[in-house]
Structure 1
Amino acid sequence: MVPADPSARALRRRLVLGAMLLLAGALLSMLLLEGRADPVIPTRLDQAPAPRPGAPVYDRDIRPLLERRCVVCHGCYDAPCQLKLGSWEGLARGLSKAAVYDHLRLKDAPTTRLGIDAQRASQWRERGFSPVLDEHDPAAGRALSDSLLWQVLALKESGPLPEGPVLDGDEFDFSLDRDNVCPRRDEFDEHARRHPRAGMPYGLPALSAPERQTIARWLQAGAPAEPEPALPEALARQVRTWEDFLNGAAIRPDSPQARRRLLVGRYLYEHLFLGHLVFEGDAQRQNFRLVRSGTPPGEPVRILPTRRPYDDPGVARPWYRLVPDRETVLAKTHMPYVLSPARLARWTRWFVDEPFAVDALPDYRPETASNPFRTFVALPMASRYRFLLDDAGFFVMNFIKGPVCRGPVALDVIRDRFWVFFVDPALGADDDAAQAVAREGEVMRLPAAEGPDASLLAWRDVARAEDRLLATKTQALSERFGGPHRITADFVWRGEGGNRNAALTVMRHFDSATVVQGLVGEPPRTAWVIGYPLLERIFYLLVAGYDVYGNTAHQLQTRLAMDFLRMEGEANFLMLMPRAARQPLRDDWYRGVGDEVRQRILGGPYRFDAETGIAFPPGVDPKLHLFGLLQRRLEGAGALEHRMDLGAAQVPDAAERQGLQRLAAVRGASLQWWPEAVVLRIDAPAQPPGAAPRYYSVLRNTAHRNVSTLLREKAMLVPEENTLTVVPGVLGAYPNALLRLRVDELPALAATLAGLRSEADYRALADRWAVRRTSARFWAESDALMDAYARTDPDEAGLLDWSRLENR
């Protein structure tokens, strides 16, 4: 025999060893998989099980309970573990370990929008979501043991809150950017062992025994829900009317009129896609969403799930459809927009009766679709601007609200409170202005133009485009107002017909904000004046073009671009001021920044130096004089809202009014220990049984040296300049604290607040008046607040969110 080749023997040994390892791996995998659930994705929750006689059902029994105890923290896309509990579909979808809001990602994340990116629970399983309801046949008897929803409630019962007013910060983490633990059912037992007090509601009192029993019976019945009701005929008729308008019903498809209507429909959709549309006179206030569908009116809606509203829909023509929004209304996302016969008549006047031609419909390429001045150049600019002004508060609200419910990209570039005015369309939307906007549109560039390939390297291109745009704008303003025709108070819109959107107040509460009609509070440090080009650019930067699932480069570019747009709004306000007063005021707004930043308002590409045409008396503060002039101008036109004032009309009781005014006068460094947004419940000293309490919001205006310094906000704070704004009712979606006191205690609260010198001082204040998250009466107080909010502000109200409630 010939001896075997040693190298060949070694090769055979390696092959045999490799085969044995592969076999061992396969056997180990089989052992590990043994006993696991069927790998086939269950489909039981693809549609809601039918109700059973005598068993609880979702809309009648479960939804109200979950809304008041669970949705108050689990309502948005970025709710813990993406668990949205505001609808049966959200419960059926379950949870995900992936975070929606992430500052550090190199690539765009997949979108996970409930009702858009997938329609059935089994489709969400394919996207990595795990169930919180039992997906087996209820007859198997595993409805509670296999329900994560039930397990977290049972964990709360076995591990209640510890004694004491404040929870241990090492055990309970309530920070905004905390790491959420999102166990699947097969991981839950270990999770419960390691975190015995992590039951739900997290860091709040447990549900009552009857509430838990109702949920248990519902789960054991299979988690049933009523069939979705048909729309009442009155609403169905309105839906048909508006869909006919949006889609150009009865217009020959290949006609010029059809192209016009398709372009109008696209414009309206791209501006209303986030809104809660409600029909005037609907007592039930049923919300609708405007969507793009692959099917025309009269057929079932087939939503086209694009990342942005202006992305290519992937069909020859999209149809614009109104679909009922069945999710719970949340204060943090609720943006109502009323559809009325009067509004339809205005749309018809602006977009149908106005003569214009559409030679060809625009494409959906990012560089085109992200630029509304190019996409909609055929639509009369005056019509576009009047459409936006008609409900300007809604569109400004879109900048800072949305389904994700977190807004630092838009919000750490704005002051804590400022007033907003608008350029009169007679000046800002005439032929001269339209020509200027057309020129600006040629040089405009927003971050979304890069599409999914957003890169920080492209930031310089965005900045250079902004410089060119400002230079173009400055030239147009100088030609128009640099000669004998100066800018006067007529530059500011008075709100035709008493439109209360003519003046708005924006109030920031760190990572959330609120927009209300009127000039709320004392005169602010800054104000913006917004014209059509700026309003449209902010909308396409922060709403239509912003992708919260986008990569870090996109999010950072959006933040930096918003810096430019804020400065432009402030510069427009400065144009109304005396030329000699502009630079000192600008420098006060931008303490601690370099000349390059300040020159973007006065100097550099923005060199509008013409003197104002407004007369300013000598010896007066020019900013205060201008604010007073604008207030009187709007008041005379019936366009100034006063419901947030602390006057006798809003607060009839003199003692209560004086106490609140004294509280509002507190300012300075003591306020650094006061939360951003506080709700006060005020009871009369001898309130009769059943009398409704009164609620007020006390908001801290945190002073900054400037808001242009990225990632160094704490270093920019000026505590000694902090102020308070006090308003009737509920303002802000995320209360940080709930205080309850009598009217006669208001002076004591103001004095105590003015004397705060430490965290310990605030804790003593809270010991006296706060309804803490550990309080046994917390849920009763929460329910009373929610009821009062819905009763006093039914159009704007939604569920408040307790996820920012402080533990102090």
Structure 2
Amino acid sequence: MPAPAASPVSYTRDIQPILTDKCVACHACNDAPCQLNLGSGEGVLRGANKVPVYQGERSRAVDPTRLFYDANGTAAWQRKGFYSVLEPHGGQAALMTRMLELGQQKPLPLNSKIPDDIVLGLNRENLCPSPEEFNGYAGAHPTQGMPLAVTGLTATEHQTLQRWLAAGAPIDQQPLQANAVEAAQIKEWEALLNRPGASQALVGRWLYEHLFLAHIYFDNGDPGHFFQWVRSRTPSGKPVDIIATRRPNDDPGRTEFYYRLVPVQGVIVHKTHITYALSAQKLKRVQELFYNNDWHASAVPGYGPGHRANPFLTFEAIPARARYQFMLDNAQYFVNSFIRGPVCRGQIATDVIRDHFWVLFQEPASDLYVDDARYQGQATPLLAMPGQNDDVGSVLSLWLSYKDRRNDYENLRRDHYADAPPADWSTLWKGNDNALLTVFRHFDSATVSKGLIGDVPKSTWLFDYPLLERTYYQLVVNFDVYGNIAHQAQTRLYFDLIRNGAEINFLRLMPANRREALLSDLYQDSGKIKMWLDYQRIDDDTPSRLQLDEKHTVRDFARQLIQRMGPLNAAADPINRCPASGACVRAGLAPQLAHAEQVLSRLAAKPAGQLKVIEWMPEATMLRVADSSGQREVYSVLRNRAHSNVAFLLGESYRYQPRLDTLTVYPGVLSSYPNFMFNVPAGEVEAFVEAMRQVSDQPGFERLVERWGVRRTHPQFWSLFHDLSRYIQEHDPREFGVLDMNRYENL
């Protein structure tokens, strides 16, 4: 009898799981190589494009190419410069077919380093060969097929993909749809944001501009179902017809439009997965904040550059307390949006923040902008932000104008707060567990976590409403990732002023006679020049009511803060802040894992001068520790680089203080972009830590990697790499997403 015919390959059942497992870790979002997004059938059909999205030096802005947003259908994408990776060309197989075959021809030796001629990381220049250029590419780069520089496809996976491609690459993927429970809540929220009337329209616009980036989820929604706000030409109940604008506060081009919720399509990737809950309780909260107050807007402002540059003017009719409190209620979301958002991709974007700092928020009742109408009226015109004019020749004059305006505001703030009651512990907001946040910068990316993590940092930021709102608008709403060098430079220069403002706000909590010394420590060496050129004089006269140790002021503040905040601190951290008892371990761990964690604490908070291995450690290393029963814990081992100051966009190497680098060791995955991974049995953690402490040179570090490291060519690379995502799924399912490996290093 003839062998039964093989069943047809299904894209949804057979192909997308392979792409998710072996390709999406690189090919997703804006920074997918060659803009080839393999997280959905739509992305696969769209194909590739030679123009990189992230290209900060370009003199002219480029057209946006956001998947599911800026075009629909293959023909529309090809008009934007995309070319197919699925269609045969010139008598040759499809580009994807040939790239996969090239990847199979010369597999790399198991757990070996990648050859030096294969450039990895963000500095890689992606060649993006078109179908007619492939033969030349393959001849010049015979070891650079796909997947690139990593353990490749299994024989079965390769055969399945090739069968699908040979059959014409049919895609049967159906768009995700809301279930009945989600649809009912969507109807309620769309009704809220689309209420008639000027006041209601103003609130709807403000809420949309603050939630457009969020991955929304609902009470009793299906796992993996997330939604995003868009503007549509069609009202609720009709198919969404998206109005695609560069930024969410650009003119929609019509007077009648509607705020709609649409499902997030495709594979969820962690780096863009910034979640936000909408619920009956949240609906009640929004009504309480925005609709139960006696205020009125006579008209809805326009969308011109002036209104985009100054949201305080645009939304001044809405009570500032309502706006600020809404942001405070979910402060982690807002800080996440500008720390993990597109502006913070790339070294220049993150050069002006430190590697580790804590974030606090000012209580609304002590915020003069919220409670003092006269002060608010004086401050509002000074809070406009740059970036609307992208004329390259005008960058300097525009920057100086906005810098002067910002400094006028800082002078106004300093003088008015000098006449206000002195700062005390009631100055700090403590409404919920969003009150205390920690930011880690990983050279060219950053992450935000609830709670106070790590040893006491050198810098702490204190946001009031004007600073929080400006940061959000400058780095999220008004930032155009497709913009030119003038736009991006203005955005990032202003970010430096934002950081300085947050640090100055915090210093108001410190004793008056210690503020200058603390500020000087933040701005050492060349930072003094920046203080003279760009920043304003601080208030070193008005007292603080906090009783702090004169010698160890910041550390004593941290000690008292942790004691006072109690349960609001979502991140008790005995590993990095070992208690006097010496039990540097969390409660509730299995015995082997508890002992391992205690041993790992020996690595925490030691400067590189005492722990030389730090010199060779990447920014964000993941450590997987498994006991004999199969239970495992995952830790982030984060390298905190020390700098004399972070006041400049460029020249980081001149300000770097390598002997002061430290490690933070913390349970969980605290980066969307793992740089490397160690897999250590719990019984070998003592040996691993001792080996770390003994490393004194490059060969010593390489021996460490050889024994416990998971290189890109490790036979279990994909299983171990995706176990990091599984760990997230087990501990916080809604935060689950595929991690990015574009920054995984070749150690």
TM-score tier, shorter chain, comes to over 0.9
The CA distance in 2 between the partners of 1:611 and 1:350, in whole Å, is 34
Letter in 2 for 1:628: R
Offset at residue 302 of structure 1 (A):
1.2
Structure 1 equivalent of residue 121 of structure 2:
175
1:685-714: CA deviation from partner (whole Å, max 9, x where unpaired): xx13xx232211111111111111331111
The answer to whether 1:274 aligns with 2:213 is: yes
Structure 2 equivalent of residue 678 of structure 1:
621
CA contact (8 A) 2:358 2:460 kept: yes
SS in 2 for 1:97: coil
The CA distance in 2 between the partners of 1:227 and 1:122, in whole Å, is 20
The CA distance in 2 between the partners of 1:173 and 1:453, in whole Å, is 32
SS in 2 for 1:450: coil
Letter in 2 for 1:642: A
The CA distance in 2 between the partners of 1:534 and 1:405, in whole Å, is 18
Structure 2 equivalent of residue 96 of structure 1:
49
CA contact (8 A) 2:512 2:540 kept: no
The answer to whether 1:235 aligns with 2:175 is: no
The answer to whether 1:381 aligns with 2:320 is: yes
The CA distance in 1 between the partners of 2:337 and 2:394, in whole Å, is 26
Structure 1 equivalent of residue 440 of structure 2:
507
1:370 counterpart (297, 306, 309): 309
Letter in 1 for 2:388: A
The verdict on how the C-alpha distance between 1:514 and 1:163 changes in structure 2, with shifts beyond 3 A counting, is closer
The answer to whether 1:165 aligns with 2:112 is: yes
1:205 counterpart (151, 160, 163): 151
The answer to whether 1:112 aligns with 2:65 is: yes
1:700-752: CA deviation from partner (whole Å, max 9, x where unpaired): 11111111133111121111111111111211011111101122322333333
The CA distance in 2 between the partners of 1:506 and 1:367, in whole Å, is 32
1:661 counterpart (593, 601, 609): 601
The answer to whether 1:791 aligns with 2:730 is: yes
Structure 1 equivalent of residue 30 of structure 2:
77
The verdict on how the C-alpha distance between 1:470 and 1:212 changes in structure 2, with shifts beyond 3 A counting, is same
The CA distance in 1 between the partners of 2:549 and 2:677, in whole Å, is 45
Offset at residue 283 of structure 1 (A):
3.7
Letter in 2 for 1:226: Q
Letter in 1 for 2:140: R
The verdict on how the C-alpha distance between 1:388 and 1:435 changes in structure 2, with shifts beyond 3 A counting, is farther
CA contact (8 A) 1:467 1:605 kept: no
SS in 2 for 1:134: coil
Question: Structure 2 matches for 1:451-530, cutoff 5 A?
Answer: 455-457=394-396, 458-480=398-420, 485-495=421-431, 499-530=432-463
Structure 2 equivalent of residue 730 of structure 1:
669
Offset at residue 426 of structure 1 (A):
1.6
The CA distance in 2 between the partners of 1:716 and 1:752, in whole Å, is 30
Offset at residue 589 of structure 1 (A):
1.1
For the pair shown, the structure with the greater C-alpha radius of gyration is 1
* Greater length-normalized contact order (CA 8 Å, ≥ 6 residues apart): 2
Letter in 2 for 1:366: P
2:494 counterpart (561, 577, 596): 561
1:297 counterpart (226, 236, 239): 236
CA contact (8 A) 1:429 1:532 kept: no
Question: Structure 2 matches for 1:85-484, cutoff 5 A?
Answer: 85-134=38-87, 145-162=92-109, 165-169=112-116, 171-221=117-167, 222-228=169-175, 230-248=177-195, 253=196, 258-402=197-341, 406-428=345-367, 432-450=371-389, 455-457=394-396, 458-480=398-420
Letter in 2 for 1:557: Q
CA contact (8 A) 1:385 1:429 kept: no
SS in 1 for 2:388: helix
Normalised by the length of structure 1, the TM-score is: 0.86
Structure 2 equivalent of residue 24 of structure 1:
none
The CA distance in 2 between the partners of 1:675 and 1:777, in whole Å, is 21
CA contact (8 A) 2:199 2:297 kept: yes
SS in 2 for 1:337: strand
The CA distance in 2 between the partners of 1:429 and 1:380, in whole Å, is 13
Q: Which moved more, 1:750-759 or 1:449-458?
A: 449-458
Offset at residue 228 of structure 1 (A):
2.7
SS in 2 for 1:493: coil
The CA distance in 2 between the partners of 1:418 and 1:453, in whole Å, is 33
SS in 2 for 1:449: coil
The CA distance in 1 between the partners of 2:574 and 2:202, in whole Å, is 42
Structure 2 equivalent of residue 584 of structure 1:
517
Letter in 2 for 1:94: G
1:560-614: CA deviation from partner (whole Å, max 9, x where unpaired): 111111011011111111111111111111111254533589x835446301111
Offset at residue 419 of structure 1 (A):
0.4
The verdict on how the C-alpha distance between 1:433 and 1:531 changes in structure 2, with shifts beyond 3 A counting, is farther
The CA distance in 2 between the partners of 1:722 and 1:630, in whole Å, is 25
Letter in 1 for 2:425: A
2:571 counterpart (622, 642, 659): 642
Offset at residue 435 of structure 1 (A):
3.8
Letter in 1 for 2:428: V
CA contact (8 A) 1:291 1:323 kept: yes
Percent of pairs with identical residues:
39
The answer to whether 1:613 aligns with 2:545 is: yes
The CA distance in 2 between the partners of 1:162 and 1:725, in whole Å, is 33
1:746-778: CA deviation from partner (whole Å, max 9, x where unpaired): 233333323333322221211111011122222
Where does the alignment leave 5 or more consecutive residues of structure 1 unmatched?
1-51
The answer to whether 1:774 aligns with 2:717 is: no
Structure 2 equivalent of residue 4 of structure 1:
none
The verdict on how the C-alpha distance between 1:352 and 1:432 changes in structure 2, with shifts beyond 3 A counting, is closer
CA contact (8 A) 1:294 1:302 kept: yes
The verdict on how the C-alpha distance between 1:378 and 1:164 changes in structure 2, with shifts beyond 3 A counting, is closer
The count of residues paired between Structure 1 and Structure 2 equals 727
Offset at residue 557 of structure 1 (A):
1.5
1:222-251: CA deviation from partner (whole Å, max 9, x where unpaired): 322133354321111111111011111xxx
CA contact (8 A) 1:659 1:743 kept: no
CA contact (8 A) 1:500 1:641 kept: yes
RMSD between aligned residues: 2.2
Letter in 2 for 1:90: G
Offset at residue 666 of structure 1 (A):
3.6
CA contact (8 A) 1:643 1:650 kept: no
The verdict on how the C-alpha distance between 1:245 and 1:600 changes in structure 2, with shifts beyond 3 A counting, is farther
The verdict on how the C-alpha distance between 1:127 and 1:306 changes in structure 2, with shifts beyond 3 A counting, is same
Letter in 2 for 1:492: L
Structure 2 equivalent of residue 748 of structure 1:
687
SS in 1 for 2:270: coil
The verdict on how the C-alpha distance between 1:59 and 1:201 changes in structure 2, with shifts beyond 3 A counting, is same
The verdict on how the C-alpha distance between 1:289 and 1:94 changes in structure 2, with shifts beyond 3 A counting, is same
The CA distance in 1 between the partners of 2:693 and 2:586, in whole Å, is 25
The answer to whether 1:65 aligns with 2:18 is: yes
SS in 2 for 1:500: coil
CA contact (8 A) 1:290 1:323 kept: yes
The verdict on how the C-alpha distance between 1:579 and 1:405 changes in structure 2, with shifts beyond 3 A counting, is closer
Where does the alignment leave 5 or more consecutive residues of structure 2 unmatched?
576-584
Letter in 1 for 2:53: V
The verdict on how the C-alpha distance between 1:562 and 1:378 changes in structure 2, with shifts beyond 3 A counting, is same
Letter in 2 for 1:781: L
CA contact (8 A) 1:400 1:410 kept: no
Offset at residue 536 of structure 1 (A):
0.3
